[in-house]
């Protein structure tokens, strides 16, 4: 498997190099935006906002969150969480389970960043994450499920995974029934997800074990973040397809209310 992943990374690297040579950086950024927009449309089609509230896990979901916030700002949240490989119970290839003290800090963090009971009323919570092997998604989902059972029974956890692999190894091995959207048709965004492009552009920075200082996490105000937001807003203002999508949604809801 390790050899397969290295080979995949090499192929992605070669593809990214070809794109970089053939296209200037501005065009690449626009292609990234269009990839993210198309995935956002797909998410909203498959998981309508009347039935789901959305949570982007970690920094990789930054572009999707930016677009979903434009479409429906009250129905999308961000859960800062990185490098999560601690899994409840004893499992090969995972770090040891969290101690009770650290688990309490993690659960406090969940409570701080997950949508309120008012927002989850009558809806499932769709957690969005990009993975390669999928180990972090498995560990995260199991602690989210444990948290929901013990602290927030209103939260119905559903995982939607984005991956260049149709069947990520560790998700399959853990026999998890997550929904998976292949990123193979979204080449630029997939490439940037693979190489952590959004780390400096994310709303919040890295938050990982031992899960300390969640209450002091501040919104990222870096130059990279501001430029990212400015460029996405520019693309969204000029995006005819996005405006058509929003117009159709508006008409749909007017018909429902009428």
Q: Which residues contact 186 (CB under 8 A, 6 or more apart)?
A: 35, 36, 38, 39
Q: Is residue 6 part of a domain?
A: no
pLDDT (tens, 9 = 90+) of the chain, 258 residues, equals: 444 444 444 444 444 444 443 445 558 999 999 999 999 999 999 999 999 999 999 999 999 999 999 888 999 999 999 999 999 998 988 999 999 999 999 999 999 999 999 999 999 999 999 999 999 999 999 999 999 999 999 999 999 999 999 889 999 999 999 999 999 999 999 999 999 999 999 999 889 999 998 999 999 999 999 999 999 999 999 999 998 888 776 554 444 344
Q: Is residue 37 part of a domain?
A: yes
The token duo for 22 is 């053939």
Q: Is residue 2 part of a domain?
A: no
Helical H runs in 72-176?
100-113, 117-120, 135-150, 169-173
The total of structural domains in the chain comes to: 1
The token duo for 31 is 């292609």
Q: Is residue 11 part of a domain?
A: no
Domain that holds residue 82: 25-257
Q: Is residue 13 part of a domain?
A: no
Q: Is residue 19 part of a domain?
A: no
């Amino acid at each position: 498997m390790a050899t397969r992943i290295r080979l995949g990374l090499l192929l992605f690297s070669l593809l990214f190099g070809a794109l970089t040579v053939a296209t200037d950086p501005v065009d690449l950024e626009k292609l990234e935006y269009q990839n993210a927009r198309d995935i956002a449309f797909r998410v909203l089609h498959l998981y309508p906002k009347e039935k789901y509230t959305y949570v982007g896990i970690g920094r990789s979901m930054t572009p999707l969150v930016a677009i979903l916030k434009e479409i429906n700002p009250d129905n999308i949240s961000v859960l800062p969480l990185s490098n999560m490989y601690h899994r409840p119970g004893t499992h090969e290839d995972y770090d040891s389970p969290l101690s009770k003290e650290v688990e309490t800090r993690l659960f406090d963090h969940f409570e701080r960043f997950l949508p309120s009971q008012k927002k989850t009323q009558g809806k499932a919570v769709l957690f969005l994450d990009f993975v390669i092997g999928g180990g972090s998604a498995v560990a995260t989902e199991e602690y989210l499920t444990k948290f929901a059972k013990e602290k927030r029974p209103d939260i119905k956890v559903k995982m939607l995974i984005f991956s260049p692999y149709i069947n990520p190894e560790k998700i399959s091995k853990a026999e998890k029934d997550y929904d998976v959207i292949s990123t193979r048709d979204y080449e630029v965004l997939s490439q940037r997800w693979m190489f952590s492009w959004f780390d400096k552009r994310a709303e919040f920075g890295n938050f990982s074990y031992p899960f300390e200082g969640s209450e002091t996490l501040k919104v990222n105000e870096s130059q990279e973040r501001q430029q990212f937001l400015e460029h996405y807003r520019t693309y969204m203002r000029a995006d005819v397809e996005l405006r058509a999508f929003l117009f159709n949604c508006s008409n749909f809801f007017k018909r429902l209310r009428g």
